[in-house]
Amino acid sequence: MNLIIVAIGGGLGAVIRYILGIWIKDKTKERAIPTAMLVVNVVGAFGLGYFLSSFYGEIPVNAYDERPFLIIGIGFFGAFTTFSTFSVEAVTLMQKKKWGALTTYVLLSIGGSVLTFLIGFYLGL
């Protein structure tokens, strides 16, 4: 049953990530950094932080058997945010020797995700 719950959350997260990514690409002009995936990952980090703090009041260590964590934390936000796409886009910037854009993208993606997770977490308390 847990696999089905994760799959449902993951399916929703992946579809919403795709729709949001397309929408952002349509609304913004081409930039030096991949804006759509940056926004998705930072928004997802915020959402996960907010969910964990508002639902659990902490970062749960042993929540892998709890259905809310499985569907929302692992399923939805696991599929909504994507480290694999981030990696592809970072390597593409590296291959194109766009060092400034690469540095900006990596710092904003990682730093922004950690920062927005913390903001979401503390807003949810």
Which residues are annotated as part of the binding site for Na(+)? 78, 81
Q: From CA 124, how far away is CA 52, in angstroms rounded?
A: 8
Q: Please, are residues 113 and 43 in contact by the beta-carbon 8 Å criterion?
A: no
Task: Dump the DSSP string for 62-86.
Answer: S-TT-HHIIIIIIIIHHHHS-HHHH
What residues form the annotated binding site? 78, 81
* Per-residue H/E/C for 81-116: CCHHHHHHHHHHHHHCCCHHHHHHHHHHHHHHHHHH
